[in-house]
Amino acid sequence: MATFTIRHGENVGTGEADFFHLDSKVGSFSLDGGAGYDTVRINLAFLDEYSIDNVERLEFYGTWERPKDMYFGFGGEPRFVDFSQTNIRTSISVYSSNSTVIGNGAISLTAVEKSEITTFDMESGAYRGTFDGKTIENTYTNFLNVSARSGDDTVYGNQFNNLAILGPGKNYFDGRGGLDTFRIQGCPSSYKIEKTSNGHLISLDRAVTPQSTELVNVERVEFTCYGVRILAFDLDGAAGQTYRLYQAAFARTPDTDGLRHNVKLVDAGMSLHQISSAFIGSAEFIQRYGRTPSDRTYINALYNNVLGRDADAEGLAGWIGRLSSGTWDRASVLLGFSESAENKALVGHAIEKGIWLL
């Protein structure tokens, strides 16, 4: 295998398996790898005007701070494009239709015809978009957001906090792990929200062409309409659990400002036990139940808030026994009532289509 340092002007391979390296500023250059499996390794900091043909593997590294469109494939497309060793501080769009490894920064893949990718899997590492019988695939997982235009798009997230912005069409977004957000350019009043077996379906009401997105494992939806409105779908996560605490502790629907504040704390890492303790120490709690209510008074209050009745003798004795033994504290008991099947059923209908945080 021959090794070449890329220079200004023309660079031509041997017809065998060649390696080309760019690690200094040379200005514009053209490169033709010719026959054989050729590899080109480029420091992004020194990339200027170029033409790259008949190269099978492209590897990029270094830092990139300017927006850039990259075009490959006009004289034989690379089979593999690797950005995994880069530090990209702006956006790069790659126009190709073969396998691509994604590194840091906002990198989007687009077909040569500039039609958008239609399926994007951030966890298993697979882009799936077929163009002229070819498929774009991604084998790395450090992609945190994806944006698509019109067409039927399918997006799978990873363990990070993913953001998806999808255009008109029949779309599907499974956020998987993390705190995932689906962003909509529009007002909530223009959309219909339905509960599905696996999540929620958001569709543009009275649309001329179908515009809908099925959301699975997606925690938040942002509507941008004269400001931002936020709808939470994490009914078994921070939003739902905090919402239910208000019912168990205060027997009321949460106020939006207070709920948003507390959900934000949980999102940032505060435990539900800490939130529960804060509720017990709040002015509202003290006003309702006194500063130091007895265990009997405390347990009966929670029974009434959730079950609408005083505790039965057996239930009361059980809860007081847990508190007396020290195995449970009052914050844990409040959480126990809050996350009980009865409390979930009590507030379930009110939140099944999401919880408004803003």
pLDDT tens, residue by residue, 121-134: 444 444 444 333 33
Task: Report which of residues 32 and 241 the model is more confident about.
Answer: 241
Mean pLDDT for the stretch of residues 82-107: 53
Task: Report pLDDT for 178.
Answer: 86
pLDDT for 51 beyond 50? yes
pLDDT for 23 beyond 90? yes
- What are the angstrom distances between the C-alpha of 37 and each of 11, 12, 353? 16, 14, 54
User: What angle separates helix 330-338 from helix 272-280, to the nearest 10 degrees?
Assistant: 110
Tens of pLDDT, residue by residue over 197-210, are: 999 999 987 767 77
Task: Report pLDDT for 142.
Answer: 37
Task: Report which of residues 103 and 56 the model is more confident about.
Answer: 56
Burial class of residue 73 (count of CB atoms within 10 Å of its CB; 0-12, 13-18, 19+): middle
Task: Report pLDDT for 123.
Answer: 46
CA 121/CA 174 separation, integer angstroms: 9
Q: Which of 18-27, 96-105, 326-335 has the lowest mean pLDDT?
A: 96-105
Task: Report pLDDT for 149.
Answer: 56
Mean pLDDT for the stretch of residues 327-347: 97
CA 316/CA 349 separation, integer angstroms: 28
Average pLDDT, the chain: 81
The confidence band for 112, taking pLDDT boundaries of 50, 70 and 90, is: very low
The dihedral through the CA atoms of 241, 244, 249, 250 has a sign that is positive
Task: Report pLDDT for 128.
Answer: 44
- What are the angstrom distances between the C-alpha of 322 and each of 271, 272, 319? 21, 19, 5
CA 165/CA 145 separation, integer angstroms: 8
Longest dimension (CA), the chain: 90
Mean pLDDT for the stretch of residues 88-101: 51
Task: Report pLDDT for 140.
Answer: 35
Q: E-assigned strands of 196-350?
A: 199-204, 211-216, 220-224, 228-232
The dihedral through the CA atoms of 331, 334, 339, 340 has a sign that is positive
Task: Report pLDDT for 97.
Answer: 44
Mean pLDDT for the stretch of residues 259-282: 96
Task: Report pLDDT for 288.
Answer: 95
pLDDT for 75 beyond 60? no
Mean pLDDT for the stretch of residues 69-88: 61
Task: Report pLDDT for 60.
Answer: 83
CA 149/CA 117 separation, integer angstroms: 9
Task: Report which of residues 306 and 117 the model is more confident about.
Answer: 306
Task: Report pLDDT for 137.
Answer: 38
Task: Report pLDDT for 79.
Answer: 64
Task: Report pLDDT for 15.
Answer: 83
In the chain, where the domains are located: 1-143, 148-227, 238-356
Tens of pLDDT, residue by residue over 216-245, are: 999 999 998 888 999 999 999 999 999 999
Cα distance between the two ends of the chain: 61
Task: Report pLDDT for 21.
Answer: 96
Mean pLDDT for the stretch of residues 326-354: 97
Mean pLDDT for the stretch of residues 255-275: 96
Class of domain 238-356: mainly alpha
Mean pLDDT for the stretch of residues 350-358: 96
SS3 state at 325: helix
pLDDT for 83 beyond 50? yes
Residue 188, both tokens: 């909530």
- Cβ neighbours for 108, distance < 8 A, ≥ 6 positions apart: 91, 92, 93, 94, 117, 146, 147
pLDDT for 148 beyond 80? no
Mean pLDDT for the stretch of residues 307-312: 96
Q: Which of 2-11, 167-176, 227-236 has the lowest mean pLDDT?
A: 167-176
Task: Report which of residues 228 and 1 the model is more confident about.
Answer: 228
